[in-house]
């Protein structure tokens, strides 16, 4: 679920920054769209735009794929603590905490990107965005180093 949020946010981020890409994404036949807009190409382009050399987006995506979306031995430890598969929920403070932290981190990024698509001519939207970014800036340096809220909403 978190990986889907992250991947969708990456697309929205690209489309906000390179508006001509959304028309291409919409108009290409599915096979061509899949070639041009693969998740790794989107992550790579965003890293280029941000000047990231350490592939932060790929690292986050791989982590979420390993422990959630794709079958891996590591992923099975997430759903099968002590090698005993349990139909959740099961009490595990460490896994719950890490899952909630990942969700909070990526939903915050999603909110930043989505806010860039909001209509700034509406005063209610501007007030809501200002309140969000005031709260965002308080935790941004600690939990999301290197991410600039100001850069995202331009």
Residues recorded for the chain: 154
> Which residue segment(s) compose the domain that 114 sits in?
2-153
Count of Cβ atoms closer than 10 Å to residue 2 Cβ = 20
Say how many domains are in the chain. Answer: 1
As a whole number of angstroms, the longest Cα–Cα distance in the chain is 55
Supply 17's token pair: 């920054």
Block residue for tokens 């890490």: 98
Low-confidence ranges of the chain (pLDDT < 70): 67-91, 95, 143-154
For 41-85, how does the pLDDT look when each residue is reduced to its tens digit (9 = 90+)? 999 999 999 998 888 888 888 877 776 665 545 554 555 556 666
């Amino acid at each position: 679920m978190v990986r889907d949020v992250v991947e969708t946010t990456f697309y929205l981020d690209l489309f906000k920054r390179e508006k001509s890409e959304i028309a291409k994404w919409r108009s290409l036949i599915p096979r061509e769209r899949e070639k041009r807009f693969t998740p790794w190409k989107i992550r790579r382009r965003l890293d280029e735009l941000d000047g990231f050399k350490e592939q932060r987006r790929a690292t986050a995506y791989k982590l979420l794929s390993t422990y959630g979306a794709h079958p891996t031995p590591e992923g099975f430890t997430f759903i099968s603590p002590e090698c005993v598969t349990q139909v959740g929920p099961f009490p595990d403070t460490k896994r719950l905490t890490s899952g909630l932290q990942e969700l909070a981190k990526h939903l915050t990024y999603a909110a930043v990107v989505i806010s860039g698509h909001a209509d700034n001519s509406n005063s209610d939207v501007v007030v809501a965005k200002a309140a969000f970014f005031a709260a965002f800036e308080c935790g941004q340096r600690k939990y999301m180093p290197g991410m600039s809220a100001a850069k995202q909403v331009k």
